[in-house]
Amino acid sequence: MKFAECMRENGVQMDDPGPDGALRLNAKGIKKEVMDKAQEACREFNPMEQGGGPPNAEDQERARKHAECMRENGVEAFPDPEPNQRGIRIDQKVGGDPDFDAAQDKCKEVLQGGGGRKVGQ
């Protein structure tokens, strides 16, 4: 809840987490500078960034599979995570993709440890 509230306070529309704990943001029309500033300001509350040091191998693999799922569902510019990157970085090009919301719905389970849904499911 604190992360979503912080992001809104920093200019990025984000709903509170749903009952499943999934976070959803709307990056359409958000300038990269605003998104970067909000992510930095809210880093301490980001559940994907909690803990020190690099992510464990399981988290890193989930982030990679999530990126793959997003691309398979129409967000071709969704980047793979950098080595040892905690969390997900979304810029205006990615967040503004018209397929972003639908792909995010299909792929959110991947980040939560599930398999996620593939194209056409």
| pLDDT tens profile 68-91 | 999 999 999 999 988 877 667 777
Note whether residue 83 is domain-resident: yes
pTM of the model: 0.56
Contacts of 60 (CB under 8 A, 6+ apart): 54, 81, 83, 84
pLDDT tens digits along 7-31: 889 988 887 776 666 667 666 777 8
Note whether residue 88 is domain-resident: yes
Note whether residue 118 is domain-resident: no
Note whether residue 25 is domain-resident: yes
CA dihedral 102, 15, 39, 82 (to 10 degrees): -30
pLDDT confidence band for 49 (50 / 70 / 90): low
Into how many domains does the chain fold?
1
Using alpha carbons, list the distances in angstroms from residue 68 to 6, 15, 73, 92.
28, 24, 9, 19
pLDDT confidence band for 114 (50 / 70 / 90): low
Q: Domain range spanning residue 96?
A: 2-111
pLDDT score of 76: 94
pLDDT score of 118: 42
Note whether residue 120 is domain-resident: no
